[in-house]
Structure 1
């Protein structure tokens, strides 16, 4: 009997931890360094891929994602080393998706050309705003014009180009967002990631909010209205909300992210990277050392993984519930058979918060803004 990952895919996540500057809203594992020896880092990432491959054995890789940090600060030669090693270790599927995140300020034609030549076939641009004052507030180093130029440049080398925007920003009105999102959809190819601004602990925004100096954040009601407006405008433009924050024309969804949300396996390589690997019928959650220098030292000692934890069946089902409810097509009831609280399920179904069709369940349009509540209600105490 095939293991679940064989049905839902196997991916590789590569974390490049370096940025030109730290954005005040960002709680990702990103670091500013004056100099980075790219050959040392490429060799370390390659070593970790080989080490992981020795554990997994032969597999077919369906997606690779370079995240960060700012992966577009990588030299094409470093990307080439990673991809060549991955190809040596695992087979590539015929339609493998290879995505690289890019910031407009780190985009240069020779890099895009190099990435495409070595196999990258999808780029995700961190534009975040098409409004000059808000780019400044978000700590972004690029201008609106640079963002648009970077997008046009990416289109020269890649058929699939996505970009991110953040909304529910300081002092943003419904009319502001309606205009900005319309401009974004006029630009977009087939995919947009649209995130509500959240104030995460440990960020500069969090510190400002605690001091009372982060003014103009939307009320809960305005945040809900902005979310509803986002769904309405994107749906009208043919960009389906296949996941809570991700919109795409049918057939152009991010395959790598779908792998996460559907419960596939993925190897997490690089500082702070997380992974999920099924080995000999047992599923493990892995987490790498976060500090770049600590990770590099650990790799030289044999492994960049700091923690590897075997997941129980309830752990696995809990993750499937949390991730699967984010998707518009939901999840299979069999994935959460031991976890679900059926009386609560029936109440939520009656209230129109969730739907059921044969063996699949999911959150309705009414329920999707309240996923945390649904998860807490559906899972047994």
Structure 2
């Protein structure tokens, strides 16, 4: 049994509206039976706890969907249940994703009282026209008001921005990012806009009605993003995430370092003891499964050692620190790397290897996906 603490992910699938770029498991419903949902999430959590005895929880992440729409009493009940079933680490990081609307910000004090000590705000842009394009329901003024409220309520605050939007110039992004860095948060998640299958943006792109910056322009935006955040003291520790030292998301580091995590709620994934778990995506199907079986699991599969090693490499090389090849080899018994290609890419300055540590360089990070296709054997 691993001595590493577990990470616990709890998925709340409901949103007020569906954003046109979003391919997450989110759903719009006219009404939600809050008592039934609380009971079902607690049952799903208890099922996972029974399968991971003797572990402690080092982080909890309420994701979605829009978990800031959850009643604070439900948040409190789930945190208490995690503590009762597993025990929480003394420095347990408990994050809740939130939309920056005034209605949800009004709950921040109650959410903090429930035990949440970190909030991640979906600001997404600091321009009202861009927010309208992205389908966001809040204005810049409302979002910044929510940010002020969050900084007063929580010890740690992060927020998201989406860049490489259609027509966005390098100078415009530099101005927006300069403003964002001035708000004083310890963590920023900065994502390039991508066209995901099944989204409204994908439909528009297929019709030729939506064009995002080409690869060269996107690379310029990526480069200036990393330079500016590093200068401001929030260097990239992962390909899209930037933090002051010590402010990194400990929960997400569990994923990227390929440690065990459990996921409950509709569509939640988990990795525990060499098994991959996946829960039913549609909220109604997940609820019915919990009522019938006591959990919402749709599939639970043992991962072959090679599969685990591939996942560990794909996740870990997103990090600035890279991967510990000896650890992956010891954990899985295999190391599916194309060594000759690693050496060739290192000679080109795209990878760096020091002993058992392999990482992508600053030059390699913008083309990481291509690098991974070359060096990792599926």
TM-based fold match above 0.5: yes
Q: Secondary structure at the match of 2:196?
A: coil
Q: Which residue does the alignment assign to 2:349?
A: 352
Runs ≥4 residues deviating over 3 A: 106-110
Q: Answer whether contact 1:58 1:89 (CA < 8 A) is retained.
A: no
What CA distance in whole angstroms lies between the structure 1 residues aligned with 2:143 and 2:116? 20
Q: Which residue does the alignment assign to 2:299?
A: 307
- CA drift of 1:244 comes to 0.2
What CA distance in whole angstroms lies between the structure 2 residues aligned with 1:67 and 1:219? 31
Q: Which residue does the alignment assign to 1:293?
A: 284
Instruction: Report the CA distance shift for 1:109/1:362 in structure 2 as closer, same or farther (over 3 A).
Output: closer
Alignment of 1:56-205 (within 5 A): 56-105=52-101, 107-108=103-104, 110-205=106-201
The superposition leaves residues 78-135 of structure 1 with CA deviations (integer Å, 9 ceiling, x where unpaired) of 1111111111110110100000000012644552111111110000000000011000
The superposition leaves residues 13-55 of structure 1 with CA deviations (integer Å, 9 ceiling, x where unpaired) of 0000000000000000000011111111111000011111111
Please tell me whether residue 273 in structure 1 is matched to residue 265 in structure 2.
no
Q: Which residue does the alignment assign to 1:376?
A: 373
Q: Secondary structure at the match of 1:356?
A: strand
What CA distance in whole angstroms lies between the structure 2 residues aligned with 1:107 and 1:69? 16
The superposition leaves residues 344-374 of structure 1 with CA deviations (integer Å, 9 ceiling, x where unpaired) of 1111111111111222110000111111221
How many residues align? The count is 372
Please tell me whether residue 322 in structure 1 is matched to residue 314 in structure 2.
yes
What CA distance in whole angstroms lies between the structure 1 residues aligned with 2:217 and 2:368? 18
Q: Which residue does the alignment assign to 2:234?
A: 239
Quick one: which of 321, 324, 329 aligns to 1:332?
Answer: 324
Please tell me whether residue 260 in structure 1 is matched to residue 255 in structure 2.
yes
Q: Secondary structure at the match of 1:104?
A: coil
Q: Which residue does the alignment assign to 1:342?
A: 339
What CA distance in whole angstroms lies between the structure 1 residues aligned with 2:215 and 2:303? 36
Q: Secondary structure at the match of 1:22?
A: coil
Provide the aligned C-alpha RMSD in A.
1.2
- CA drift of 1:380 comes to 3.2
Q: Secondary structure at the match of 2:22?
A: coil
Q: Secondary structure at the match of 1:31?
A: coil
Q: Secondary structure at the match of 1:187?
A: coil
Q: Secondary structure at the match of 1:85?
A: helix
Quick one: which of 48, 51, 56 aligns to 1:52?
Answer: 48
Quick one: which of 200, 225, 228 aligns to 1:230?
Answer: 225
Q: Secondary structure at the match of 1:12?
A: strand
Alignment gaps of 5+ in structure 1: none
Q: Answer whether contact 1:71 1:100 (CA < 8 A) is retained.
A: yes
What CA distance in whole angstroms lies between the structure 1 residues aligned with 2:303 and 2:10? 22
Quick one: which of 16, 22, 38 aligns to 2:34?
Answer: 38
- CA drift of 1:338 comes to 2.4
The superposition leaves residues 298-327 of structure 1 with CA deviations (integer Å, 9 ceiling, x where unpaired) of 001112010111001100000011000000
Alignment gaps of 5+ in structure 2: none
What CA distance in whole angstroms lies between the structure 2 residues aligned with 1:345 and 1:221? 24
